Amino acid sequence: MENKLPQSEYPIDLDAISQLLPKGTTCQFPQTDGDLLEIGKKHNHALQTPYFIEPCKKGEYLIFTLLASDDENDFYTFEFNSNPHSPNFGAMRHAVGFNNKKAPTELCEQAKEVANNVLESVFTKLTTKVLNNKSVVGMILPTN
């Protein structure tokens, strides 16, 4: 049975993300652990292993693909730390294509913009939820 990934509940604005990307580049967000296995099989790399799947299932990483060509198999997978309690929050962990081919620099830059958009909306949602909870006495938010 496939399990939904925490990122399937993220407030992802696909219209805003498509505006960040050059014409012809598409972005997809896996919704289940089965989606991750499928990407790993298509890419012929370790995305099929617990090393990548388990942290995504726990919500520790945001993972998505970017496709910038007409070949549906020529996509790259990007993974960013999405744990707001981690000192590496927002850091890119993974940026590869088929057979662990390194992602092109321009696609990595586009992936950073996508991740920033998503993580900012997730952080805003979490902050709003916490601030709306009247039992919260105080909270320190990052300033950068």
* Residue 122 within any structural domain of the chain: yes
CA distance 53 to 40: 10
Report pLDDT for 133.
Answer: 57
How many CA atoms within 13 Å lie on the side-chain side of 121? 15
What residue numbers bound the domain in which 112 lies? 6-127
Give the pLDDT confidence score for residue 131 in this predicted structure. Answer: 53
Stated pTM of the model: 0.84
The total number of structural domains in the chain stands at 1
Three state DSSP letters for the chain: CCCECHHHHCCCCHHHHHHHCCCCCEEECCCEHHHHHHHHHHHCCHHHCHHHHHHHHCCCEEEEEEECCCCCCCEEEEEEECCCCCCCCCCEEEEECHHHCECCHHHHHHHHHHHHHHHHHHHHHHHHHHHHCCCCCCCCCCCC
Q: What pLDDT is attached to residue 85?
A: 87
Alpha-carbon span 91 to 68, nearest angstrom:
22
Examine residue 135 and state whether it is found in any structural domain, yes or no: no
99 domain-assigned: yes
**Residue 56 located in a structural domain:** yes
Position 50 scores a pLDDT of 86
Return the bridge partners of 81, or none.
61
Span 47-93, pLDDT tens digits: 778 888 899 999 999 999 999 888 887 899 999 999 888 999 999 99
- Mean pLDDT over the full length of the chain: 85
Confirm whether 1 is domain-assigned.
no
Distance, CA of 67 to chain centre: 14
